[in-house]
Structure 1
Amino acid sequence: MASFFDSDSPSNLTEYSVSELSGSIKRTVEQAFDQVRVRGEISGYRGPHSSGHAYFALKDDRARIDAVIWKGTFSRLRFRPEEGMEVIATGKVTTFPGSSKYQIVIEMMEPAGAGALMALLEERKRKLAAEGLFDANRKRQLPYMPKVIGVVTSPTGAVIRDILHRIADRFPVHVVVWPVRVQGDGSGDEVAAAIRGFNAIEPGGPIARPDVLIVARGGGSLEDLWGFNDEAVVRAAAASGIPLISAVGHETDWTLIDYAADQRAPTPTGAAEMAVPVRADLEAGLSGLSARLKSAVGRQMDNRRQAVRSLARALPSLDQLLALPRRRFDEAALGLGRGLTMNTANKRRQFERVSAELRADLLKGKLSERRQRLVDAMNKADRIVERQVHRGEARVSAADAALRALPSRLIGQIHRASDRVAGLAARSDAAVRADVRRLRSVIVAQDRILQSLSYRNVLQRGFALVRDAEGGPVRQAASVSVGMTLSLEFADGRVSAIAGDGEGEPGSPPTAPRKKQPKPADPAGEPPKQGNLF
């Protein structure tokens, strides 16, 4: 009985370690829930992790389960998960032994019916419309004849071929394609980046800036076109400085980019037709307009010619225009002879009246009066000259006195200038000596630095500088060949050597040193050039 109640007696229950128990629970859960289909609302979604995996939870009104989408599965999803979206997830339930939690590993996920996506689409549409991104007054007219067209679409689909073929048929222009993904996760970000990239191209750069943009994709389901409902795509289309045509899906398909674009095309081919006119129609219209212009110009010339003829008939003849001036000329010619005769008679009478006043006594009186006036002027001029001579003599006397006093003042100025020059010379000598001392100290300090950096100080410590036959330094053993002539420079001189194979045999006698060669004199007495040990 004592052994029955002994505390050390073994129990009949199986003993597990924590790892074994967790692994058993994991296997049981995975076997029981290998493939499940769960409907719930996405909660705690913050986008893909830096590793590419997505972690969130699925919940309903009474429970919650953690969920994870691995990176490879996440890239294959047809739409981007969003917070609050109701989805149907297919995967398997497993446990995480590190924290005693269970979770569902999602392998496939789809919206819980079109109603959920449409509700999300309507909510996003109301939000962006409230910001004014869909206002009609923000939309711009497309250029009538663009020179460059930018296309944002997949480079491998049939859409780009339809657009290029249609443009080539109607009006061939330069087309720049920005390749993007038009379906799946990340497609919206690529489309938005392409729109912003086209707008960032500078005019006149290596890549032509488009005059109009076409964002195109073929038809598909709501999930396939979901990337063009992305908020980033709508904002990029609304902010585009280049007119934009949306050609996503078929005529019955509508996405949010259609509301933000300047024009919506029912199909990608229709977008190409909107972007460019028909060249044949333009040529026909131009020919018609040219013919109408020639006809109008001809009729106008005929009308003007008829008007000129009518005006010419209303003008008077040349004889009628010159009759009155000719008559006035004739009358003036007849009156000219009588005028000359009368003028000559008047001048003769005036001359006779003046000549009657010219008598000899009157001329003698005027001559005497002019002679007396001339004598008075000469006397006055003599007096003026005498006064000017006296003033000149006075100025000469004053100048002579000033010149006599000048030597004494010059001697004083010379002495003062000599003293100033002597002072300046002393100051100059002192300044030169100070500069010489300062420069000597600088040169001594630089010489010390040069001596400290010289490689000869390294040679004083027992090192040697190896040079080749041309005098260049040898930096590596690999550059030395057998039989090569070398020069070894020590602190006290140089010696010559012949390079061997680099490995001496054991026990071989040392090679006798060669006689020290005299150091060659440097040309022109110049100091030896400083080498470089590095």
Structure 2
Amino acid sequence: MDLLDDDMDDAPEPGSNAHEFTVSELSGAVKRSIEDQFGRVRVRAEVGRVSRPGSGHLYFDLKDDRAVLAAVTWKGQAARLIQRPEEGMEVIATGRLTTFPGQSKYQMIVDQIEPAGAGALMAMLEKRRKALAAEGLFDQDRKRALPYLPRVIGVVTSPSGAVIRDILHRLRDRFPTRVIIWPVAVQGEGCAPQVTAAIRGFNALTPGGPIPRPDLIIVARGGGSLEDLWGFNEEPVVRAAAESDIPLISAVGHETDTTLIDFASDRRAPTPTAAAEMAVPVRADLATRLAETGARMARSNAQAIQRPRQRLRDLARALGRPAALTEGARQRLDLWGGRLEPALRQLARARRQQLAARPMPAAMLRQFTQGKRSGLDRALMRLEAARNRRLERPRDRLAQLRDRLENSLVRVLADTRRAVAQQGARLADLDRRLVAAMARIRAQRQDALVRLDRMRLSLGHEQTLRRGFVILRDPEGGVITAPEVAARTPRVELQFAGDRRVAVRPEGVPDKPKRRKPAPPEQKTLI
């Protein structure tokens, strides 16, 4: 407003040639004045009307008991807000004042919002809890029982904190099982969307897929202040926990910390370590219980067998001796056996006398014999049919065995031909590899031989002689290597490259010549 004051102080009286401002100039001057005076401000107020249009910007009012201040948060800044404004919430808003010429009003562009104390947070938390409870998200009938022995446990937490180490250590001590970690941020602006995505991601896994679907989910975080744990009070996190098809344990904070995800989860653990204890039993206790149950089962089975056995022995003692039961019948059999033979003789004698007194007619005898023959034929037919029936089964069995043997023979022959073909192909491949290896080895040996021959030629005395050296030999052809031996030898032979010459020491030359100075390094001589 300083610019306007200066201009108006210097302005002439009404009716004179005063400077005329356009609306845009006047609005721009006001805008610059306000932005220069209130470049960065913090305002403590209550949030009034909140508008969230499709553009992503946030429009809301900051008010107290006497005034209302329009506020706006642009889309990019709204995505980074840790705390979003809600109607009735007391906040401390940080930003800058500016004007909106289109409506001739001023407003505050807010880039940071924080609750005005824990009381406001608790009030907002209680309001959100009642709203979600009214929808039935916290009802007990929605909660499911935890699996007794989960094969896979999904843990939603920070991979770098002490929480995951405590959970893994406790699971390893109690009952080692497979654990899949979904890393998330456990505080800050990215906490709520990442935790929501993790819970929904575990539920979206397909059973039997490349990534196993967990049988149990643990959402864990260590203790902290109300602001640190606020991400687990967000509505998307609570709804994801309530909609989870997989049983979920909430282990957020310490025993005294309470978040909204605790109400929506199937079980709340006071600490992350307690969540691991809830998830799996103690393997040693299970082994002990299993051993006790097995022992009780063995004792029950033994008693179930022992009791009928004892009952049978008691009943057997009441029956008496088996021989006593048959003694009377045996005596009667012996008595009647002694009477049987005389009775048979007497019957045969009586029948013989009766036949002699009244002979049987020939027709009756033929009829009798014919009847017996017919019965014998029928018996023979039944015997033949029985023999055929008895032979039919082995014959069918033999035919089945023959068919199986032929099929097995065909399979064995086919397998043998296939094995022979495979071995033949393998032998042909080995033969090709052997020929190639022999050619390669022969070439290598040939190259080595050529190199050795070159080395022989380069290291041989012929090459040395071509470089200017001479071999000194005695009359017998031996090589002279010492100067004193050469001095005592009257006749020597000099071998050059491609030729030999004889040298004779003249008479009167002393045996021991005077010592000469050594030849310079570039002079090539052999002695």
Query: CA deviation digits over 1:260-316, x for unaligned, max 9?
Result: 222110011111111112233334444555566667777877777766665665553
Structure 1 match to 2:266: 262
Query: CA deviation digits over 1:197-230, x for unaligned, max 9?
Result: 2223222111111111111122222233223223
Instruction: Show the 5 A alignment for 1:308-457.
Output: 313-314=317-318, 316-337=320-341, 340-341=344-345, 344=348, 355=359
CA distance in 1, matches of 2:124, 2:342: 117
Asked if 1:39 is matched to 2:45, the reply is yes
Normalised by the length of structure 1, the TM-score is 0.57
Asked if 1:279 is matched to 2:248, the reply is no
Measured after TM superposition, the shift of residue 45 of structure 1 is 3.0
Structure 1 stretch displaced more, 40-49 or 272-281: 40-49
Normalised by the length of structure 2, the TM-score is 0.57
Among 111, 114, 118, the residue aligned to 1:110: 114
Counterpart of 1:46 in structure 2: which amino acid?
Answer: R
Measured after TM superposition, the shift of residue 80 of structure 1 is 3.1
- Alignment size in residue pairs: 350
Paired-residue identity, %? 59
Structure 1: any 5+ residue segments left out of the alignment?
Answer: 1-8, 360-534
CA distance in 1, matches of 2:136, 2:353: 107
Measured at CA, do residues 307 and 26 of structure 1 come closer, stay the same or move farther in structure 2, by a change above 3 Å?
Answer: same
CA distance in 1, matches of 2:317, 2:225: 83
Among 28, 32, 46, the residue aligned to 1:23: 28
Structure 2 match to 1:179: 183
CA distance in 2, matches of 1:230, 1:182: 12
Among 232, 237, 242, the residue aligned to 1:233: 237
Q: Give the match's secondary structure for 1:183.
A: coil
Measured at CA, do residues 314 and 93 of structure 1 come closer, stay the same or move farther in structure 2, by a change above 3 Å?
Answer: same
CA distance in 1, matches of 2:71, 2:358: 141
Q: Give the match's secondary structure for 1:143.
A: coil
Measured at CA, do residues 72 and 340 of structure 1 come closer, stay the same or move farther in structure 2, by a change above 3 Å?
Answer: same
Counterpart of 2:247 in structure 1: which amino acid?
Answer: P
Query: CA deviation digits over 1:172-211, x for unaligned, max 9?
Result: 1111122233333453343233223222322211111111
Measured after TM superposition, the shift of residue 169 of structure 1 is 2.5
Query: CA deviation digits over 1:387-420, x for unaligned, max 9?
Result: xxxxxxxxxxxxxxxxxxxxxxxxxxxxxxxxxx
Structure 2 match to 1:163: 167
Measured after TM superposition, the shift of residue 46 of structure 1 is 1.9
CA RMSD after TM alignment = 3.6
Instruction: Show the 5 A alignment for 1:68-83.
Output: 68-71=72-75, 73-83=77-87
Query: CA deviation digits over 1:325-357, x for unaligned, max 9?
Result: 423432443454355356546755875787477
Task: Report if the CA contact (8 A) 2:47-2:86 is conserved.
Answer: no
Measured after TM superposition, the shift of residue 24 of structure 1 is 1.7
Asked if 1:224 is matched to 2:224, the reply is no
CA distance in 1, matches of 2:28, 2:360: 163
Asked if 1:66 is matched to 2:70, the reply is yes
Structure 2 match to 1:193: 197
CA distance in 1, matches of 2:338, 2:23: 151
Query: CA deviation digits over 1:229-276, x for unaligned, max 9?
Result: 233333332232222111111111112221222211001111111111
Structure 2: any 5+ residue segments left out of the alignment?
Answer: 1-13, 364-527
Q: Give the match's secondary structure for 2:51.
A: coil
CA distance in 1, matches of 2:353, 2:167: 111
CA distance in 2, matches of 1:282, 1:119: 46
Measured at CA, do residues 357 and 236 of structure 1 come closer, stay the same or move farther in structure 2, by a change above 3 Å?
Answer: same
Task: Report if the CA contact (8 A) 2:46-2:88 is conserved.
Answer: no
